[in-house]
Amino acid sequence: MSRKFFGTDGIRGRVGEHPVNPEFCLRLGWAVGTVFAKKGQAHIIIGKDTRISGYMLESVLESGISAAGANVSLIGPMPTPAIAYLTRTLHADAGVVISASHNPYYDNGIKFFDGAGNKLPDEVELEIERQLEQDMVCVSSDQLGKASRVPDAAGRYIEFCKATVPRGFSLRGMRIVLDCAHGATYHVAPRVFEELGAQVTVIGAEPDGTNINANCGSTHPQMLQQKVLAEQAHMGIAFDGDGDRVLMVNDQGQVLDGDELIYVIAAHRRQQGKLNGGVVGTVMSNLGLEKALNELQIPFTRAQVGDRYVTELLHKNNWSLGGEASGHILCLDLTSTGDAIVAALQVLLAIEDQQKSISQLVNGMDKLPQVMINVEVPDPGETAKSAALADAVSKQEAVLADQGRILVRPSGTEPLLRVMVEGEDHQQVQAIATQLASVAEGASL
């Protein structure tokens, strides 16, 4: 059975349109509650980011879960990795996150964790989809689930984040600018870094329901770059709307992506004898990361795009470190999913231990020019299979020979076709990417 609703990261779409509407999400809550209540009285956690639609979707999911006979704990606005952590530590059966991550406010989605804080296995997602095909039936009144709030959720997560670095670790004397993307980290990230001793300047921490990710955060770091220079800060840290992606800005205002941060963490852990195997990237990871890790004799392998696939390969190899250029970074020895705050602290730990700047630590990695163009097309999956596009890609691959890579794939979270070209000459890479994007647009007509 193929998935009808679940994508690479839960269910996502435009608010008000199927499946991200009240009617479907009521049934979704009931289906999830029913699946997890089969082994007895289930306990399910619901958290969300700062989108205005979170109020609406939270209430209908709560109603559906209760109608299935499962109890609900409401967390409120919290980072996605915090929900994974709380699901595990509160011994819940499942965690639900209402978020569309880095997307604009008018999108939203539903993501799930199992009781161990991991993404749901395929078979559980398929079981939920099968349950959605059944008639919705409410349990008897004496069997309805109860709902309550977890008042100390933020404090629990803040203490967890601080516990991921060694006792005695201090950020005293470090000036950091945080960009919280007007998202779920707005009330927890500043406290984590302040309580560890940093002098913190905060931007993007005034959510109004519609400004999440709007010209800020990890997808739009320009404001952070300017603020780091204006404040003469040692660095800037940018999160996305739900707090599972992180990018950094050095003291010169230059952006450092997930590949570079993974390199810093990997090199530091290898030096400390704590790497535990190799590193998992994705097909989008810069070739420069692979070459730099090879020079350190650190094994590197690539997964499909999506943190669930990186996680699967890490588990398969029994490794702990992996991630994506977008800033999804997994440290599975510390937590079960990508966590932007935890990953940022691991980079800061490398800086403090080695008494070097972030710029000095990334010097060992030379990124190859890489250009990615997002092409809006009606059906990205079909366009990706186009004969005309395949022919154009084949010809350009011959031009690059073994000096570069081309990857064309449909986005798993947005109605976009992503065209990525990587090579040694930036002008050539840009020209090839532009030409392939044009062919993709024509193939979609």
Catalytic residues: 101
- Note whether 280 and 317 are within 8 A (CB): yes
Token representation of residue 14: 């435009």
Pairwise CA distance, residues 127 & 339, whole Å: 27
Token representation of residue 345: 């602290």
Listed residue (51, 44, 48) closest to 128, CA to CA: 44
Cα dist from 10 to 7, 57, 115, 197, 356, whole Å? 5, 14, 16, 37, 39
- Note whether 372 and 433 are within 8 A (CB): yes
- Note whether 86 and 157 are within 8 A (CB): yes
